[in-house]
Amino acid sequence: MKLIRILLPFLISQGLMAQFYKKSDPFVHTYSVVAMDSITGDMAVAVQSHWFSVGSVVTYGKAGVGVVATQSLVNPSYGPKGLALMEQGLSPDQALKSLLDNDPGEMYRQVAFLNHEGQVATHTGSLCIDEAGHFQGPYFSVQANMMLNPTVWDAMARAFQITEGDLSTRVMAALKAAELEKGDIRGKQSAAILIVKGEATGHIWEDVIMDLRVEDHNNPLQELERLIKMHSAYDFMNKGDLAMEEGDSKKAENLYMQAQNLFPGNIEMTYWYAINLLNNKDYNRAFPILKSVFQKDKNWKTLTGRLVKSKLLLIGENKLKEVMAL
């Protein structure tokens, strides 16, 4: 908390302490991006900072409404309040202005709003610690404060605009571009990404596409990128499970294979792929895979026998004995 000790004398002398500081306001100096996929309508907010658990205080989003990044000397209320105002029909500019006008500490805030129409509004307070600034473009805004260099936000914008791929890929490109410009003057510690659907489904459990956090890590962006890849693999696994539930073992096999291609060393992904080979009566391929899995951990063999009762493994008694003998 050295930064607090440095700032306290100045704040007290200026009579600003009581106006803007609350115990709940963390000093999250950082860089972030809010963005929308103009084709799918999905909306993302992502962040990296030299602060513990940055995602828990900076990133907010709601399907069919928008996303918010609130940072610098954070006023966390900008997240839920900003989303509520945009849900009521205010534009990002109107919603952000409404909150800033009622915040005596607005000069220390850095905030970005994006709504489901791709409109953005960004504020970098006049007393945000240098280097600080932001860049707005079609369907996105990037913002940073307490950076080593003033080139960070322009580099982030360029990376987001020229990178091809899905929304998470483009957002990560922006974050990595910031790090290439030396990023946060203090270093790095945590990162997060939140992606929500452009249109609410009416089922909140379906509205969040991705919600990943790296709370404390020597290389948070590298770890976040690994988690995004794993998220994609397990998305294929979840769809494979659904296909199994629906009795479409061929579809499940294909989905499990796609998961394996992303993480070939994952024993669970390998196992479920082999189970679907059994369901498809492809014993010549299934048996050696399962034998390898069972040798690594015999509990998978125990699980295999239980799948018959749940009707997730459709196999005759004789073939089951062969499997259990592997």
Compute the average pLDDT of residues 13-35: 61
Q: How far apart are CA 170 and CA 158, in angstroms?
A: 10
Structure tokens at 36: 């929308």
Q: CATH assignment of 20-217, given 3.40.50.1110, 3.40.50.2300, 3.60.20.10, 1.10.10.10?
A: 3.60.20.10
Domain boundaries, the chain: 20-217, 235-324
Distance between alpha carbon 323 and the CA centroid of its chain, in Å? 40
Q: Is the pLDDT of residue 177 over 90?
A: yes
94-145: pLDDT as tens digits:
999 999 999 999 999 999 999 999 999 999 999 999 999 999 999 999 999 9
The beta strand positions in 116-166, using DSSP E, are 120-124, 133-137, 140-144
Compute the average pLDDT of residues 240-259: 87
The DSSP string of 38-55 is: TTT--EEEEEEESSTTTH
Q: Is the pLDDT of residue 2 over 60?
A: no
**24 vs 225, residue with greater confidence:** 225
Averaged pLDDT of the chain:
91
CATH architecture of 235-324: Alpha Horseshoe (1.25)
Residues contacting 235, CB < 8 A, separation 6+: none
Q: What is the pTM of this model?
A: 0.86
Structure tokens at 234: 């397990």
Same CATH fold assignment for domains 20-217 and 235-324: no
